[in-house]
A = this chain, B = another copy of it.
Amino acid sequence: MAKQKKAPRPKAITPKGFRDYFGAEVSERAEMLHRIAGVYHRYGFEALESSAVETVEALGKFLPDVDRPNEGVFAWQESDEDGKGDWMALRYDLTAPLARVYAQHRNDLPTPYRRYAMGPVWRNEKPGPGRYRQFYQCDADTVGTASMAADAEICAMLSDTLETVGIERGDYLVRVNNRKVLNGVLETMGLSDESQRDAVLRTIDKFDKVGEAGVRALLTGGRLDASGAFIDGVGLSDDQAEPVIAFLTSRADDVAKTFDNLRSAVGASTIGAEGIAELEQINELLAAGGYGADRIVIDPSVVRGLGYYTGPVYEAELTFEIFDEKGRKRQFGSVAGGGRYDDLVKRFTGQAVPATGVSIGVDRLLAALREKGRIGGTVAGPVVVTVMDRDRMADYQAMVAELRNAGIRAEVYLGNPKNFGNQLKYADKRNAPVAIIEGGDEKEKGVVQIKDLILGARIAQSATLEEWKERPSQFEVARGDLVARVREILAGQES
């Protein structure tokens, strides 16, 4: 018999492109999603949690010409006797599952159906710095109505959401555009050639990066990019390019003026006029709800997703400045985007169902809140009850139970209590605000020592000897006053 080889130890690592989230990262995200769900709920949206696994067929990523249909998704074949099982895959967003759910349950769901969903999605892509293959999305969509009131509502909800999680008014702007207006512009230009229209769309998408002059150059003869390479232009004449530029730069301080600018950009185009009318409706509905230009604006320079959506497009941008990795100031930028798309369910049922929705970039919004100091990035540590006498664990357990029953985060030290220094090091690692000490002497006298670790750290850093004596960071209290005094200290640390 062959000698059995001992299996090598497995490597303790996540798969490439995946990561773990610890402590504050988890609880701050949970808290943020909890608040967002509250706003969505108030707006009448219903929670939906679809399965993380879908058939590849339903996801719409089925590529008949490759052996394994896992381009972009994580997919596997269901095992069955003859190896002909269905292909399944992890969802890559929350919109494709919504389409499947709506098609499957449309007879039981209300029409229109307002739903929100939050959870991880998975992408089988090359991971990079800060680019993970599993990340959170948080979506809200209204399915089954063509009414602009649905789009306006989502913009208002987005505005409320940002303020509810801690982005102050003035620090963000929801900007609204409409694909139909762009279609009107293209119609007016006489661009009926599909490939040329696509080239214009692709060029417009670069407006954020290259600005007005850049887009003008790219629409006409071309331009040198930052690296010095020459980028070919679309080949339009200056006159032809003008309506596109007029469209992109049509936002004025006065919204009536913006609409005037758009009207002249679309000329006699019917679809263009329709798009403008939709924007006017959205603007009117938002004004009626009290959402003014300090929160939501009509802004035709919003180009993200214009190629994908079929009507209104919206984006939430944070307007404050941050320093990037290279120390340069820049605007924080977009944290959410969405729009109207009408073919959501058609793949399944053959019927077009109008829908509009938004997706919040959960990780970017969390980063923004950290940047603004709205969330701390750390969790308040527990009060640590140290163990001076391992035979009196029950005494320490009683203290910790009292503290917890009073709603105070607390724990007893569970490591080896032999070395007291290690206990204080542990308390430090746990961000403990307070340590409790009860040795034999204290027990006899009916007292405990309370160590204010926050004050202690501050004194150690900066205090003079006089201050040190005046404000001792450790003091003795009667055992019966433990909970009350700890509560006092914690309150003092917070203020």
A414 and B48 form a contact (CB under 8 A)? no
Question: In the bound complex, how far is the Cα of B9 from the Cα of A218, in angstroms?
Answer: 40
List, in ascending order, chain B residues with CB within 8 A of A54's CB: 14-15
A142 and B22 form a contact (CB under 8 A)? no
**A20-B101 CB under 8 A given contacts A26-B47, A88-B74:** yes
Tell me whether A52 is interfacial, beta carbon within 8 Å.
yes
Q: Can you list, as one digit per residue, whether each of A396-411 has a CB less than 8 Å from chain B (1) or not (0)?
A: 1110110011011111
- In chain A, positions 6-64 with a C-beta closer than 8 Å to chain B are 7, 9-16, 18-23, 25-27, 30, 34, 37, 41-44, 46-55, 57-58, 60, 62, 64
Task: Count chain B CB atoms within 10 A of each CB in A9, A70, A75, A134 and give the residue with the most.
Answer: A9
Question: In the bound complex, how far is the Cα of B62 from the Cα of A21, in angstroms?
Answer: 25
Tell me whether A1 is interfacial, beta carbon within 8 Å.
no
**A76-B75 CB under 8 A given contacts A51-B18, A52-B52, A150-B414:** yes
Tell me whether A465 is interfacial, beta carbon within 8 Å.
no
Question: In the bound complex, how far is the Cα of B27 from the Cα of A90, in angstroms?
Answer: 23
**A411-B19 CB under 8 A given contacts A103-B12, A122-B53:** no
B10 and A23 form a contact (CB under 8 A)? no
Question: In the bound complex, how far is the Cα of B417 from the Cα of A147, in angstroms?
Answer: 11
A50 to chain B, nearest CB (A): 5
Tell me whether A104 is interfacial, beta carbon within 8 Å.
yes
B415 and A288 form a contact (CB under 8 A)? no
B30 and A410 form a contact (CB under 8 A)? no
Question: In the bound complex, how far is the Cα of B12 from the Cα of A243, in angstroms?
Answer: 43
List, in ascending order, chain B residues with CB within 8 A of A149's CB: 393, 396-397, 412, 414
- In chain A, positions 353-407 with a C-beta closer than 8 Å to chain B are 379, 382, 393-398, 400-401, 404-405, 407
Please tell me which one of the listed residues B18, B60, B70, B150 contacts residue A76 in the complex, with CB atoms under 8 A apart: B70
Question: In the bound complex, how far is the Cα of B74 from the Cα of A62, in angstroms?
Answer: 19
B10 and A42 form a contact (CB under 8 A)? no
B23 and A46 form a contact (CB under 8 A)? yes
A148 to chain B, nearest CB (A): 8
Question: In the bound complex, how far is the Cα of B400 from the Cα of A286, in angstroms?
Answer: 11
A58 and B10 form a contact (CB under 8 A)? yes
Tell me whether A293 is interfacial, beta carbon within 8 Å.
no
- In chain A, positions 453-477 with a C-beta closer than 8 Å to chain B are none
Tell me whether A323 is interfacial, beta carbon within 8 Å.
no
Chain A interface size, as a band, is 35 or more
Question: In the bound complex, how far is the Cα of B407 from the Cα of A21, in angstroms?
Answer: 33
List, in ascending order, chain B residues with CB within 8 A of A316's CB: none
Please tell me which one of the listed residues B120, B124, B281 contacts residue A52 in the complex, with CB atoms under 8 A apart: B120
Tell me whether A284 is interfacial, beta carbon within 8 Å.
yes
B60 and A287 form a contact (CB under 8 A)? no
**A394-B287 CB under 8 A given contacts A12-B103, A12-B104, A79-B68:** yes
List, in ascending order, chain B residues with CB within 8 A of A37's CB: 27, 30
A207 to chain B, nearest CB (A): 31
Chain B minimum-CB-distance residue to A110: B429
A414 and B26 form a contact (CB under 8 A)? no
Copies of this subunit: 2
Question: In the bound complex, how far is the Cα of B454 from the Cα of A282, in angstroms?
Answer: 33
A43 and B404 form a contact (CB under 8 A)? yes
B415 and A112 form a contact (CB under 8 A)? yes
Question: In the bound complex, how far is the Cα of B135 from the Cα of A53, in angstroms?
Answer: 12
Please tell me which one of the listed residues B15, B288, B393 contacts residue A88 in the complex, with CB atoms under 8 A apart: B15
List, in ascending order, chain B residues with CB within 8 A of A10's CB: 55, 57-58, 60, 62, 347-348
A421 to chain B, nearest CB (A): 14
Question: In the bound complex, how far is the Cα of B287 from the Cα of A398, in angstroms?
Answer: 8
B78 and A76 form a contact (CB under 8 A)? no
**A397-B152 CB under 8 A given contacts A48-B21, A415-B144:** yes
List, in ascending order, chain B residues with CB within 8 A of A76's CB: 70, 74-76
Please tell me which one of the listed residues B62, B78, B103, B430 contacts residue A44 in the complex, with CB atoms under 8 A apart: B430
A145 and B20 form a contact (CB under 8 A)? no
A458 to chain B, nearest CB (A): 22
Task: Count chain B CB atoms within 10 A of each CB in A48, A53, A134, A286 and give the residue with the most.
Answer: A53
14 contacts between A and B (CB under 8 A): A13-B55, A20-B101, A22-B46, A23-B47, A25-B47, A26-B48, A43-B409, A43-B411, A44-B410, A149-B393, A149-B414, A285-B393, A285-B397, A288-B397
Seed contacts A26-B47, A42-B407, A43-B409; 13 additional CB < 8 Å A-B pairs: A10-B55, A10-B58, A13-B100, A14-B51, A19-B51, A20-B51, A25-B49, A53-B134, A144-B415, A160-B404, A288-B398, A289-B401, A291-B401
- Per CB-CB distance, the 4 closest pairs between chain A and chain B, nearest first, are A44-B411, A289-B401, A26-B47, A12-B103
